[in-house]
A and B are shown apart, each in its own frame.
Chain A
């Protein structure tokens, strides 16, 4: 139970067997994920958009929290790998009847499934499931609490690499609610590991978590100076609950102090790339003109989500297949 994420998600040979967080993964492995995703790039353009890598495998989308984009892209990714997909909506299912999470997992295991894609409101949920599943099952974290959203981070890295040709040496700015954001944590880990020159975060103090500097980021107070010379700017979604929790006075004030506008973007490099993990609140964290403007790659991020999810599913399943084939019958 005391295993950290790095040990848990790699097998003895350092191959990916679960994908739980970016922490502890090497630069080579992160690059391999992106290279694999790139190799799947053509699949979507074929007449039959499928490769048979996961044929005969059953992938369970285990979503304890609502999601449209992530769940559908995982489903598409699994289907393009020829897997059978089971969507389990837990909000209306077992655990709401009092069944423990571990019992839910045991029951699904008994149905001989091969992979869990887990989204959960509690940090560490995917880690918990990975520490308890049977050895032939792979777990992919589709977002846990405020901890990690590693496939989102990797699709963002993949998108940056497509556009800029590299991550190394770039100045990347993340604007918004870092405190509650699993996406930001995973992005920061990935950017640092892949050699970004500087990662800056900018938000009011109420939305900056304690000790974030230890990740290797620079915390800014003024958005204009944060944007200065930036290669990439990532805006984070602002949840409506932040007003009632006294994190912020109003959406209006947030937009006027931290909103990503065309005017402010002028401080960044001319070829700045603007990203957002979605869903977007237009005119709250980002101006419509920026969303739909020439620097935005927000829809490209979504398409890349499928390739990255295919890559991580294929890689973890291949690790497990190899381990099983090496074991004496």
Chain B
């Protein structure tokens, strides 16, 4: 089937990779970016999309999401969450390996990619397991995972208690030039905690997670990385001191990168007041100074990507006493509005904001993504930065309604999402 030739005209094209920020037309042919600016010779327009007043940028790349399939289809499915993703301008998502069965074999890599292909809306990038069964004791078959196309491995939030196993896992991953994604967490320090340890956890009587649960792990991994030279990507930071340590290590030339979940840049521990289970998330929402430091990290590029850490849940998972509920926020659909809020508040310029959602995360997994360079797959997002919408049952597409922003007004709405040259979402 021939794919239509599309022109997106009248919009402000922002492509951080090519340092473009201007009102230009974008031409798409055969599923690829054909040109930005001048119409290529012989380009016959099949479909014209009007983007006046809107921003045209590469489709967003999310480094951490859970679609719950396979294994937890009662919470969400690849089909339901793909729709929520494209509605949010996200065209590529990394899937954490903690599905059932786990992503620890070439067969599972193929299965996830096949699911995505059948759904036909987004590109799913399966993240392979770092250790066998994520149990933290033996190495996963990373060579086979790499051969199957896997570029990133991770132990999700499962602990590796033995540092020697961690060291060898990093060394083994380095042999295959895999990126190791780590959600820094020292399990002995976080074990029973359900929220940030501080004044509010003391008042609510909820077991706290000290910031050292994260910073001790960050310090250990930085030291190991310094020795081994493997590319480690810290995912979902939550603490001021982690940002400081990573900034310092990057300055020293240690090959580490980092991301943060969008909600960490807006919410703090106070969101848990009243035992609000919608704000129960791992790592926990922390103090005001942590939020500020994370914002500053994003601004300076110490944190090069903003992710969703999307975790949809069924209603019952959040309906119990706080400690008995499941952590996680359904967050695909708030990623863009929350990032645009940083622009409105003066923390980020629009092009920096786009960068943290496109070529920033793409650089971690695949440099062929997150840009509008001619010849690359045409993954494009067109959004209106000023359009407002309210989070409610009519507007929300994810199966997981678990967001602390429920009922709130959001600014920033996707008009079109294009995946490999196909319009997969249109807000018309």
Contact = CB atoms under 8 A, between A and B. Distances in A.
A124 B198 CA distance: 17
Interface string A161-183: 00000000000000000000010
A214 B205 contact: no
Contacts, number: 85
Interface in A107-157: 120, 122-125, 127-128, 144-148
A66 interface: no
B205 A125 contact: no
Contacts of B387: none
Interface string A204-230: 000001111011000000000000000
Given A120-B321, A122-B322, A210-B197, A2 B202 contact: no
Contacts of B276: 1-2
B324 A211 contact: no
A102 interface: yes
A104 to B, nearest CB: 11
Contacts of B202: 185, 209-212, 214-215
A149 to B, nearest CB: 10
B253 interface: no
Interface string B203-222: 11111101000000000000
Nearest to A186: B205
A125 B321 contact: yes
Nearest to B194: A123
A147 B202 CA distance: 8
Contacts of A146: 205-207
Contacts of B278: 1
A68 interface: no
B73 interface: no
Contact of A102 (B206, B208, B274, B320): B320
B274 A122 contact: no
Interface string B299-321: 00000000000000000100111
B198 A122 contact: no
Contacts of A101: 320-321, 324
Nearest to B206: A123
Given A123-B205, A210-B201, A212-B202, A128 B274 contact: no
A211 B322 CA distance: 21
B273 A4 contact: yes
A177 B277 CA distance: 27
Contacts of A209: 201-202, 208
B274 A127 contact: yes
Contacts of A122: 321-324
Interface in B246-301: 273-278
A102 B324 contact: no
A78 interface: no
Interface in A1-60: 1-5, 8, 23
Given A1-B274, A1-B278, A145-B206, A123 B323 contact: yes
Given A101-B320, A185-B203, A4 B274 contact: yes
A100 interface: yes
A23 B197 contact: no
A306 B218 CA distance: 53
B208 A147 contact: no
B199 interface: yes
Contacts of B322: 122-124, 128
B201 to A, nearest CB: 7
Given A2-B274, A101-B321, A124 B316 contact: no
Given A1-B274, A127-B274, A182 B321 contact: no
Contacts of A123: 204-206, 275, 321-323
A120 B324 CA distance: 12
A235 to B, nearest CB: 20
Contacts of B210: 210
B28 to A, nearest CB: 44
Contacts of B199: 210-211, 214
A65 to B, nearest CB: 12
Interface of B: 197-208, 210, 273-278, 316, 319-324
Interface of A: 1-5, 8, 23, 100-102, 120, 122-125, 127-128, 144-148, 182, 185, 209-212, 214-215
Given A123-B322, A128-B320, 9 more contacts: A1-B275, A100-B316, A100-B320, A123-B206, A124-B205, A124-B275, A210-B208, A211-B199, A214-B199
14 contacts: A3-B274, A4-B273, A100-B320, A102-B319, A122-B323, A124-B206, A124-B322, A128-B275, A145-B205, A148-B205, A185-B205, A211-B199, A211-B201, A214-B203
